[in-house]
Amino acid sequence: MPTKVRFLEVDPDRAGQRIDNFLMAELKGVPRTLIYRILRKGEVRVNKGRIKADYKLQPGDQIRVPPVRLPDSKTPPRASDQLRELLSRSILFENKGLLIINKPSGLAVHGGSGIQLGLIETLRQMRPEEHFLELVHRLDRDTSGCIMVAKKRSMLRYLHQQLRDGHVQKYYHALVKGRWPDHCREVNAPLKKNELSSGERMVRVDPEGKPSRTAFKILRRFRDSTLVEAKPITGRTHQIRVHAQCQGHALVGDTKYGSDDVNREMKQRGITRLFLHAAALSLVLPNDGGRLKVEAALDDGLAAGLDNLEEMD
């Protein structure tokens, strides 16, 4: 790690990138929690001013990067051969600029908050020849399915713009408790993030929250539950989970927003974790007029759990 303060100028190729992502690429191996700490303390400055973690860099910005001491204990461990093999088998699409992976449930997308090794750290270990590997978006640790990883900065910028413009379509499969009503095809309810004293992040429907919309479609009905397709129109934290909960149909296996009684019952039927799966992504690649749709199959555990439920007409 550099031992002196550095001053870096943002070139056009890095414009539009969030400062926290810029720092994580610049300070390889530094824990995310430490990145956010030096941002909060104002040790990182842009054009001599304090900025927040979500600040978007502009061409010509002058960034003050402080020296960072990396504790030996924070060195990420080596990914196991089993995890490397699993991720290799989970690649759904790849070209020169993009990877799309069927992320397994239980694997965080990045290290931090007590997690030393996530998806992106493992991919960087697997592919040391790749000079650029960055998450395009995120999935919660317990959520499985399609996630995009950019192999070029130009692809990262392009896809971020596509996401902002609503041109990337995401499709999730979720099992919810009870009978989802036929007429409920969209939930439009503002969401507000809250942080509890324990540090746990919670989201609730609140008139003062950000506008949030999710489209829902019924896929299969079971005696005590419904498999739905959820298509987020906006992209808020825990959006699908809270929108389903506010309709009285919380997701099966959701320990934060769901029903303990339902979760215990579903565990007996083989569904032992959050039933939320990023089933498909649809996007247009740069320099390619056609729309690409990539689909990810349910893992064996969720698929077997569905087989144990009594399907209704």
Which residues are annotated as catalytic? 140
Closest listed residue to residue 110, CA positions, set 73, 57, 159, 147 = 147
Distance CA 118, CA 183 (A): 40
Dump strand ranges (E) for 15-108: 45-46, 62-65, 91-94, 98-103
Q: CA-CA distances (angstroms) from residue 8 to 14, 53, 65, 66, 154?
A: 11, 17, 8, 11, 19
Is the CB of residue 37 less than 8 Å from the CB of residue 30?
no
Work out the number of other CB atoms within 10 angstroms of the CB of residue 58.
13
Give backbone dihedrals phi and psi of 302, rounded to 5 degrees, phi first: -70, -40
DSSP class of residue 72 equals: G
Q: Is the dihedral of CA 120, 139, 219, 291 positive or negative?
A: negative
Distance CA 293, CA 289 (A): 13
One-letter amino acid at 101 equals I
